[in-house]
Amino acid sequence: MTDRSDRTVGALLGVHAGDALGATVEFDSWEYIRFRYPDGVREIVGGGVFEWPPGHATDDTDLTRAVALAYLDPGDDVVLAAARLMLSWYEGDWPGRVPGRPPVDVGGATEGGLRTFARTGDPDGSGAGPGRAGNGSLMRCIPTALAVRERERRIRESVRISAVTHSDARCTVACAAYNEIVAVLVEGGSAAEAVAAGVAAARELGERSVVAAIALGERLDLAELARTGVTGLPDDGNGYVLDSLALAVAAVLDFRDLSDVLIDIVALGNDSDTNAAIAGGLLGARDGASSIPDGWLSVLQFREEFTGIAAEFARR
């Protein structure tokens, strides 16, 4: 039996675990993964194109950490605090990195947004504009859902933190809808109730493409996708924000255990770590940290820190 505290911890660690599981085969094809891992990637073993140590954070987890830390000490503006922490990550002031060495895995829109913020100091005017709709803000947005209980403020800050790097409405509204799903889940609502809350937020913000992506996710059968490699997604799960949102919705509506669902998402390949991180956040919020295999948890770089951050969010 899970409680709100366990689900809050689960949301953060679900992002971390999905990220670390998928990093092994990031950018690989379904065909290659099927050949190399016929039963799926079932353990967090590291490696991949960037040769990650097992459980090491990629940009997905690192930037989630940046947003989470901003909510612990927001100052006058949590969005400004988040932008500054993300810039610290980009400039090499980050655990597990040689000081001053930039990340190896920064996305184009994220890099552009952070470089603009470094020049202007304005977090509200730095993001890539319309036409840049990658999943780089959706992957890091979950701390807002865990830290903010007031719906209006939660939606507003979801949009603004996305727009530091990703200001296309598909990105900002996807973050708001995703965080409404998380907020219902951590309070003990059902997956169906949570998805309905996400749809309501997307409709309220007037972004029909996000509504359509959620509807697509409601129709996807992840076990079948993993078996055939045929996703039916607009960009085949290769970094488009609405592909990642649809997969996450499919994941949270899947009745199976968190591990089985994430293994199937990773099996699809392409942007496997980010897709699994985004889905892992919803699954962890649904099922709690107790649903994540001990063997996965034991190697996560920020396990203890994320557990402490989530405990503070739950206490507040």
Question: What percent of the residues of the chain are helix, what percent strand, and what percent coil, each to the nearest 5?
Answer: 65, 0, 35
* Mutual angle of helices 59-72 and 303-315, in 10-degree steps: 40
Both tokens assigned to 17: 């675990």
Is 58 annotated in a binding site? The answer is: yes
* C-beta of residue 137 within 8 angstroms of C-beta of residue 175: yes
Is 274 annotated in a binding site? The answer is: yes
The CB density around residue 105, as the number of other CB atoms within 10 Å, is 19
What is the per-residue DSSP string for 48-105?
TTTTBPTT---HHHHHHHHHHHHHHS-TT-HHHHHHHHHHHHHHT-STTS-TTPPPS-
* C-beta of residue 79 within 8 angstroms of C-beta of residue 172: no
Distance CA 129, CA 203 (A): 21
Cα 127 to Cα 112, 141, 155, 229: the distances in Å are 7, 15, 18, 33
Is 76 annotated in a binding site? The answer is: no
Is 264 annotated in a binding site? The answer is: no
Q: Which residues are documented as binding site?
A: 58-60, 271, 273-274
Q: Which residues are documented as binding site for Mg(2+)?
A: 58-60, 271, 273-274
